[in-house]
Amino acid sequence: MIRIAVCFSVVLLSIPAIAQSPAAATTPVAVTSTTSPEITQFQRIEDNWSNAINMRDQYGLELVLSPLFVDVSANGDITTRNQQLADLIGGEDKTLHLDQKVITVRLLGDTAVANGTYLLHHKAANGGPVDEKGVFTHVFERLRGGWSCINSQRTSLRTNATTKSKKQSNAELPFHIPLFTKSDKTNQ
C-alpha cells in the first residue's frame, strides 16, 4: 500500500516539472490535415473530369468515365459515356464550364461513392447564360489500379428567384388568434 502511495506521489510531483520544461514548450506540434487522403484522391479525379469538360478533351474524359457509365442530369436526362463524348466533341454550347468539389467519400471495397457540389455554367434553351449550382453523387469502381466513374447523379439546388414569395400579413401582432385579438370584420 505504501509502495502505491509513493509511486502515485512521484507521478503527481513530476507533472509540474514536465509542464515547465523549456524543451516541451519549444517542441512543434504536428498539424494534421482536415482533408482525408480519399477526398484528396477523388478531388483529383473530379478535377480531371472538370478539366476534360472545360478543355473539350475527349481522351481525358474517356480516362475518367467507365464504358458502363450512366449519367442522370439535374433535369432528368439519362445519357451514356458515348453520348457524353459525342456531346463534348460536337456540342453547340462553347460556354460550357464545370467546377466540382468533393465533400465526402465512402470506400466499399472496389466501389467508392463520392458526394459533393458543382457549378455548371452553360447556355439555357433560350440562349442566355445559366449558372446551375447543385450536388452530385458519383459511383466509382476500381479498375486497373485506378478509379473509373460508372454512375453520376446530379441534383440542382433551388435558387431564390424560383421560390414562391410569402404573402405578407397585415396583422398588428405577429400571432393572430381570432378569439383574443381584434378582427377587421365586424360581428353581425
Contact predicate 54/98, CB 8 Å:
yes
Please compute the mean of the pLDDT values over residues 37-59 and round it to a whole number.
94
pTM: 0.66
Q: Domain residue spans in the chain?
A: 37-158
Query: How far apart are the C-alpha atoms of 166 and 156, rounded to whole Å?
Result: 22
Please compute the mean of the pLDDT values over residues 147-160 and round it to a whole number.
91
Please compute the mean of the pLDDT values over residues 92-120 and round it to a whole number.
92
pLDDT digit string, tens, across residues 11-47? 555 555 444 544 444 555 444 456 789 999 999 999 9
In this prediction, residue 82 has a pLDDT band, given cuts at 50, 70 and 90, of very high
Contact predicate 153/79, CB 8 Å:
no
Instruction: Tell me which DSSP letter residue 185 carries.
Output: S
What are the residues whose beta carbons fall under 8 Å from the beta carbon of 184, sequence distance 6 or more?
A: none
Please compute the mean of the pLDDT values over residues 68-76 and round it to a whole number.
94
Question: What are the DSSP E strand ranges found in 4-110?
Answer: 65-72, 78-80, 97-108
Residue 122's pLDDT is what?
Answer: 81
Please compute the mean of the pLDDT values over residues 154-159 and round it to a whole number.
88
User: Which of 6-15, 17-26, 45-54, 171-180 has the least mean pLDDT?
Assistant: 17-26
pLDDT digit string, tens, across residues 118-137? 999 887 777 788 889 999 99
How much is the mean pLDDT over the chain?
Answer: 79
Give the cell for residue 148.
473509373
Domain range 37-158, its CATH number among 3.50.30.10, 3.20.20.150, 3.10.450.50, 2.40.50.100: 3.10.450.50
Residue 90's pLDDT is what?
Answer: 87
Nearest by Cα to 154 from 106, 119, 112: 119
